[in-house]
Amino acid sequence: MAATDVDAQLAAARARWPTGPEPEATFAALVAARPAAQQHVEDLYLAWWCRTGDAAAITAFEAAFDDDLRAITARFKDLPADDLRQHLRVKLFVGTPKSPPKVCDYAGTGSLKSWLRVTAVRSFVDLVRSTRTHRYEQELEETDLLGLATPSHPALRSELALAVKAAFAAAVGKLASRERVFLRHAYVDHHTLDQIASHYAVHRTTVARTLAAAREQLFAGTRAGLVTSLGIDTAELSSVIRMLDSRIDLSLSRVLQP
């Protein structure tokens, strides 16, 4: 991109956001680092301004993409739109001690709108999944899963109680929407395969396969979570996993309540 084109785009950005700061060397370096054919100077300016933490920049950013953010949050009905927007705001412009503000990752090789859409969807998926898992974990009573047989090491007893709860809840949270719905019909509503199949206009074999796959995923996910969190081998957990099968009806009927 010729220098005149860069200057023209920068002038357009300054005209669009007249309260923004005068570009500095850090902004010039961002533009220079981009391939000539992929320089989105106006988008880069807005992202660069947001990196400063200026409240006016964040306001300008959210105003520029308000319609896009409304459309994206409307797709995630598990959480209020305001909660989703606030979560994204922190992720984009504040960050954490371990992770800088996400807006710093925008490289300018594509449009800021496209980058934001991908970032927002990924962020919302993670948030909904973690929120769902937390809810599932909270809804498990001590007698649901924590009465399972324990490993041979007594010191692991209390640790296992918490680990089983968390691992099972996380495994439920990772199920696909259709799997959770079918499991809820089977374990909460006590519908037959034929009733579920009729309701969704699918073959009963499809329902049976979906339920079987979901149960297998629950066992595999719970097992993997326990091995990771406790650092003990799978063989030592065999009795726990076997006992889980006999209590899955009670556990699912609680965590999958609508």
Q: Output the average pLDDT for the chain.
A: 78
CA distance 106 to 119: 10
Predicted pLDDT of residue 234: 61
Can you give the pLDDT at residue 138? 59
Q: What is the mean pLDDT of residues 96-116?
A: 87
Q: What does the pLDDT average to over 1-25?
A: 76
Q: What's the confidence (pLDDT) of residue 68?
A: 93
pLDDT score recorded for residue 194:
87
Say if residue 14's pLDDT is above 70: yes
Please say if the pLDDT value at position 150 is more than 60.
Answer: no
Cβ–Cβ under 8 Å, residues 206 and 192: no
Complete domains list, the chain, with CATH: 3-135 (no CATH), 142-255 (1.10.10.10)
> What's the pLDDT tens digit per position in 117-127?
999 998 888 88
- Give the residue from 117, 113, 100, 116 showing the smallest Cα distance to 42: 113
Write the CA distances from 206 to 176, 194, 198, integer angstroms.
15, 10, 11
Tens-digit pLDDT profile for residues 229-244: 777 666 666 666 665 6
Structure tokens given for 215:
């149960």
Q: How far apart are CA 20 and CA 49, in angstroms?
A: 7
User: Would the pTM count as exceeding 0.75?
Assistant: no
Distances (CA, A) of 31 to 3, 110, 244: 11, 13, 57
For residue 143, the model assigns a pLDDT of: 46
Q: What confidence score (pLDDT) does residue 92 get? A: 92
- The top-scoring range by mean pLDDT among 21-35, 113-127, 241-255 is 113-127
Q: How far apart are CA 85 and CA 255, in angstroms?
A: 27
